[in-house]
Structure 1
């Protein structure tokens, strides 16, 4: 569970320890406060007192990643994802006051139905294939209820001085706006009801997006996923936007701002041989020929130090940029050298009578342009035997190896 040492997470940790739920307390050190080291010591001591395993993890906050609050949140969630194993659950101590603040913040930022659905008690966390999940067991409790519990059980907790900084939007809402609203309306209860209604609407929109994805020939690629561009373009603008939002949700990516979504639609429909690349959350929308691709972001690629990597063909070979090369069935063990394009290479696929430039062959095999400098070239005894998972030459084994992205 995420354990910051504040009131909310202190109550949750105490509840879990009393219930003897197996849990690890994870403290994320953002490096934003001079007191962060002392807070970490406090959290470690409390966890030890309760008999709970403790882990501290340092992160670097990128202020260009949506500002201070969003950057810290993104860094924190990336750290949780790295620390979790397949099937693990992340427990966070958000409560109904947090829910009300989140709802109003998103409303003031012009969020749509998905955003105004606010924080769910349960959701998939990260890549669906890992079966990780996020739980918020205190979401229907109020802060005052948590304070009462903490006093009864004589808990100690940290007060983060940044919580009084009114330059932070959430703090301004919490300290200046919500107290006045609460004088007339039970805002927490109303937000819970509104959020549940909006989440139902968001679920219906996701169902529609899933149906449209299938209508548009949704398929997995070696790098990301794609849909048929003609089918996508035949949808109304509202459904194209909804499809993109639903597609991003399936990939576990945060929702982009409305302006970025409009730009994505405009560039997806660009004429000619344009190859648009629009960043949407943690993904990139790309177009190639008659397909629209949603891919992870590519890391900068600088080839290999020394020009090649030795591989015996028996196991997985890590490649730059989070890619891997694996032997296919029947792939023989041998002394291979793996290189990348430098220009001017030629190859003759086994079924061809004549060799052609590798540049032309990659086009013929429909490898998207953004992957052509990254496709591994496998050599044995100085002869090219395979090009990624695309083809083998007459000197190569029966089938090409497996080339995949480790998302």
Structure 2
């Protein structure tokens, strides 16, 4: 037993932590063993418990976790979530709620230790296989991966549940048994209780899955490298809102590489692996030869759009902007709905400004023009993407329109400049 304990400690210590080291502590066997083991090795950490509220025992579990953490001298915190299934199942919805907590909690340089073990890896492999996953999905869980500027570590992936139970008994640990683990209507529980024990009688399942996952991860990394190279060849560039690539270059790639490029692009922007049908639909609409058709295809939590022979990948747009207006003193940044902001650049004069969005029928006379034109035509000339034209901030001083975002100014002699930018995903 000492060999695997030492390996777990080494897996944590060899990855330096420049911030806070957190441990996701559910109170179950796995996280209880990991917490106790690392405390015994002198690893400094904090425990975070996510209260899902799905069980009548959830409050008791939280109290148990707090008591165990206190007995070990570990700082402890709880985050409450509301789990709302979107049709993907309760287990997936609970996982999404947990990761939302983790993403809010973690700062750059932090580490998050999770206690999934080798038997969990086997279950994940078969679940993804039965859902038709590709190479990356079948590579199952990585022992380390980034999450924002932080890192997720899974130091128990080389350890089986039997070994964890032996450790817990030896050290007289107490842990929570979630009653939902007996519910075989859940796919993971059915595999664990019914299918995998039969397979394990004939094959060394954990060892075979570890080997297969490692091979598939290598294949997935090669596909990722190819996708990155193809993104560069397709002129990937940062846009005001999301990113874009050249459609002409994309058309010259074989279809399999087009799909691989999109998957890699999504991953780089923080999106999820897309449904095959959605990916096919996005490519079909994007690659049509006729004109700049309006398209907006949901894809892995992002949106694929097309404009002027470029394919855009953007975050989802929030609801249509409000028709109100905001008062601004012309210094610092004005926060606008939907994670946008308008910032004063060097030399921009302070004053009393009103900021609002388009309401229809506006005209503007950019500096250097002899006459005014409709704002609609001016935004077309400025090549502003159509999905942003109702969201550009119009800056007024008194009744005079003085600037249209950072696209152009409408008053002679106005010093300085503005910056209109988005502060959300893929930026």
The two structures share one fold, judged by TM-score above 0.5? yes
- Counting only pairs closer than 5 Å after superposition, residues 89-238 of structure 1 correspond to structure 2 as 89-126=111-148, 131-238=149-256
- Counting only pairs closer than 5 Å after superposition, residues 204-353 of structure 1 correspond to structure 2 as 204-270=222-288, 271-303=290-322, 307-353=324-370
Distance 1:351 1:118, change over 3 A: farther
The alpha-carbon deviation at position 396 of structure 1 amounts to 6.8
Cα distance in structure 2, aligned partners of 1:209 and 1:379: 45
Q: What SS is found at the alignment partner of 1:28?
A: strand
- Verify the 8 A CA contact 1:388 1:403 in the aligned structure 2: yes
Cα distance in structure 1, aligned partners of 2:423 and 2:218: 33
- Verify the 8 A CA contact 2:292 2:309 in the aligned structure 1: no
- Verify the 8 A CA contact 1:388 1:400 in the aligned structure 2: no
- Counting only pairs closer than 5 Å after superposition, residues 381-392 of structure 1 correspond to structure 2 as 381-392=398-409
Q: What SS is found at the alignment partner of 2:218?
A: helix
Identify the residue that residue 56 of structure 2 maps to in structure 1.
34
Question: Which sits farther off after the overlay, 251-260 or 185-194?
Answer: 251-260
The alpha-carbon deviation at position 399 of structure 1 amounts to 4.7
Cα distance in structure 2, aligned partners of 1:360 and 1:19: 67
Quote the RMSD (CA, aligned, Å). Answer: 1.5
Cα distance in structure 1, aligned partners of 2:371 and 2:38: 68
Distance 1:22 1:325, change over 3 A: farther
Cα distance in structure 1, aligned partners of 2:161 and 2:364: 67
The alpha-carbon deviation at position 237 of structure 1 amounts to 0.5
Distance 1:376 1:21, change over 3 A: farther
Cα distance in structure 2, aligned partners of 1:299 and 1:31: 29
2:414 to 394, 397, 406: 397
Q: What SS is found at the alignment partner of 2:303?
A: strand
The alpha-carbon deviation at position 232 of structure 1 amounts to 1.1
Question: Which sits farther off after the overlay, 94-103 or 28-37?
Answer: 28-37
Cα distance in structure 2, aligned partners of 1:268 and 1:24: 47
Can you give the 5+ residue segments of structure 1 that lack an aligned partner in the other structure? none
Q: TM-score, normalization: structure 1?
A: 0.95
Distance 1:396 1:254, change over 3 A: farther
Q: What SS is found at the alignment partner of 2:24?
A: coil
Distance 1:395 1:31, change over 3 A: farther
Q: What SS is found at the alignment partner of 2:322?
A: coil
Can you give the 5+ residue segments of structure 2 that lack an aligned partner in the other structure? 1-22
- Verify the 8 A CA contact 1:386 1:400 in the aligned structure 2: no
Distance 1:163 1:347, change over 3 A: same
Deviations 1:207-247 (A, max 9, x none): 00000000000001111111011111221110000000100
Cα distance in structure 1, aligned partners of 2:25 and 2:55: 16
Cα distance in structure 1, aligned partners of 2:414 and 2:47: 50
Distance 1:40 1:325, change over 3 A: same
The alpha-carbon deviation at position 50 of structure 1 amounts to 1.3
Cα distance in structure 2, aligned partners of 1:180 and 1:39: 32
The alpha-carbon deviation at position 23 of structure 1 amounts to 2.0
Q: TM-score, normalization: structure 2?
A: 0.91
The alpha-carbon deviation at position 328 of structure 1 amounts to 1.6
The alpha-carbon deviation at position 149 of structure 1 amounts to 1.3
The alpha-carbon deviation at position 395 of structure 1 amounts to 4.7
The alpha-carbon deviation at position 261 of structure 1 amounts to 1.3
Cα distance in structure 1, aligned partners of 2:370 and 2:416: 18
Cα distance in structure 1, aligned partners of 2:48 and 2:317: 29
Q: What SS is found at the alignment partner of 1:103?
A: helix
- Verify the 8 A CA contact 1:386 1:396 in the aligned structure 2: no
